[in-house]
Structure 1
């Protein structure tokens, strides 16, 4: 039940600001944010399938979420994390015909696109502004997505630092008190499946970038934080 919001060319100071939570089974192995061996990619790594859910390289940003669709996911299908990995290595997205449903954000110096393979292959170029994404269709405005979009918009109009964005990503308010809505919050604390990490990406008008990842254990306690700088060419 991942969630993310992005401000794309939405403020004179910032070319790109993204904030998102990766929700996953706590038992699935993953490596924290780091420079990859190739020297280009900065991302965490899914140690089970080898790809990533979110990352940056020089002038590129990518993020993938699963798209909730009846009958999926299927373990035998190709990993969606390869879509982000390929993009960050400078390649065009090439989804395999047999791939679990996904939402994908891809940004470079000129454009931000959202792509999906359900119900059919579609790629849309997004206008400057604030956009949100979760595990529904791109046009769906889930409770958690709307809350994170609003928090990002308020942050752009403030002078607050990174901590305010991480506070927004730690929002545990559910849509209702109904137990069925336990996974409707921005941040999910659950011993089996929940928020594994929060990530903030900032690229200013001069092309100076910073990516920060904060990791959590099954109890929601912070287990680590990594901050790395990168360049974003014009």
Structure 2
């Protein structure tokens, strides 16, 4: 998962609204979004699944738990870590710790994962944690963006995504999962002067600057867009649109989980 734009308690009718793109190597085996049962806990999760390591990049549960992860881009980090970042989301979704408790437990294992950003939440709170700063924050209401830097880093695709989501939140009649997926389809690259410097060189920074990434030469790009809307009633709408290596739409899936 490489771009997450989300609104938390920004509207009383919609406690959580999320639009996200997963960018990954095309060759990495993946299962499309669906309901599956976690083998360790026996709990059901609605999410896509990384078939190589067994975790997920973004998911929810019927009870209203939510988790999503991105990597933090750090070329200096060359040591391989023993655990997959997809486990961070899976273990929260499958468990029963509060977001605060879960983040506190993570302090014991920061060094077991490559650099990550993690969002974990339930009906009571939403927390952001990363293992670069080794700290967790309880988020206040607002509109946020998260990519491969820290939360709300001023990258062009984050700034633009927050602006678009703000506009959608001002017109509740326009707030549906199709609109959220459409906003993540922006393939325009940022001007060189606006690019972040994450240590990978300007040519690659340029290719990775769009919300939707097309980089078939490196066999890498946006594989799916996900939209999530939590309603005040407790109902949850979840949609995923998948893409091939050329950025063409393939399969799409939509789910609605009623309040428990």
Name the TM-score class by shorter chain: over 0.9
Instruction: Find runs of 4+ consecutive structure 1 residues off by over 6 angstroms.
Output: none
What does residue 198 of structure 2 align with? none
What does residue 77 of structure 2 align with? 72
Pair 1:99 & 2:113 matched: yes
Larger displacement relative to structure 2 (88-97 or 189-198)? 88-97
CA distance in 1, matches of 2:28, 2:259: 31
Deviation, 1:12, is 2.4
SS for the counterpart of 1:210 is strand
Please say if residues 207 and 214 of structure 2, whose CA atoms lie closer than 8 Å, have aligned partners that are also in contact. no
What does residue 29 of structure 1 align with? 29
For structure 2, the 5+ residue unaligned runs are: 193-201
What does residue 42 of structure 1 align with? 46
What does residue 136 of structure 1 align with? 149
Pair 1:184 & 2:198 matched: no
Please say if residues 177 and 237 of structure 2, whose CA atoms lie closer than 8 Å, have aligned partners that are also in contact. no
CA distance in 1, matches of 2:182, 2:143: 18
Please say if residues 203 and 210 of structure 1, whose CA atoms lie closer than 8 Å, have aligned partners that are also in contact. yes
| Number of aligned positions between the proteins | 232
Larger displacement relative to structure 2 (104-113 or 174-183)? 174-183
For structure 1, the 5+ residue unaligned runs are: none
Please say if residues 188 and 194 of structure 1, whose CA atoms lie closer than 8 Å, have aligned partners that are also in contact. yes
SS for the counterpart of 1:36 is strand
CA distance in 2, matches of 1:43, 1:171: 23
CA distance in 1, matches of 2:147, 2:136: 16
SS for the counterpart of 2:214 is coil
Seen in structure 2, the aligned counterparts of structure 1 residues 74 and 33 have a Cα distance that, compared at 3 Å, is: farther
Pair 1:204 & 2:231 matched: yes
TM-score normalised according to structure 1 size: 0.93
Deviation, 1:166, is 1.4
Seen in structure 2, the aligned counterparts of structure 1 residues 183 and 2 have a Cα distance that, compared at 3 Å, is: same
